[in-house]
Amino acid sequence: MSKDIFAVISDVVSRFGQSTYGLPAQKEIVETRKLVGFSLLGESYVMPLNELSEVLDVPECTKLPRVKSWVRGLANVRGRLLPIIDLADFLGGSSRGPVKDRRVLVLDIDSVYVGLIVDSVQGIQSLALSSFKESRNNGPLVHFIDGSFIEENKILPLFCAHKLIEDNQFMSVSV
């Protein structure tokens, strides 16, 4: 009788083995960085998601006297006054593309709360750290770039908001 039980168990095991699928192939784990893509003056950029507080439509601004032309004014964002800066104008250019596509990148870094108007925002991207190269590019934000991500033959310079905040020209808004 014990042979019969063994035969039954062997039969069940062999049928189970024939009906199962193989384990999925193990995928290579790629370390990535979360970035926000945006465009400015016809160029595409990315910036670390952790340097960005939020993204807004361009709000109504109250003009300020005796400030440089690239300071658009102050906006009230949920009870907090947000200085709005036209980043293209600061760099000596003018925004491109439809006004409805423009967005404000809100930064809250080292006690500096400021909004930067950019031409458009493409959203969050996860890019492989292995595709990052520490190199300079020649775009309008050249002084505020930490390197570039190279994805599918496209170069995406990494904008460093800390460098912008530390720039004396950017912080000197009065005329």
**φ and ψ at 53, to 5 degrees?**
-85, -45
Residues facing 51 on adjacent strands: none
How high is the mean pLDDT of the chain?
A: 89
**CATH no. of 32-171:** 2.40.50.180
Cα–Cα distance for residue pair 102/100, rounded to 1 Å = 6
According to the model, what pLDDT value does residue 29 have? 81
Domain positions in the chain are 32-171
Q: What is the mean pLDDT of residues 33-48?
A: 95
According to the model, what pLDDT value does residue 119 have? 96
Q: How much of the chain, in percent, has pLDDT values that exceed 90? A: 68
Dihedral angle, C-alpha 12, 13, 19, 21, nearest 10 °: 160
pTM assigned to the model: 0.81
Q: Give CA 154 to chain center in angstroms.
A: 16
Does the pLDDT of residue 14 top 60, yes or no? yes
Among the listed ranges 34-48, 123-137, 159-173, which one has the minimum average pLDDT value?
123-137
According to the model, what pLDDT value does residue 60 have? 95
The tally of CA atoms less than 13 A away on the side-chain side of residue 12 is 6
Does the pLDDT of residue 172 top 60, yes or no? yes
Among the listed ranges 19-23, 57-61, 170-174, which one has the minimum average pLDDT value?
19-23
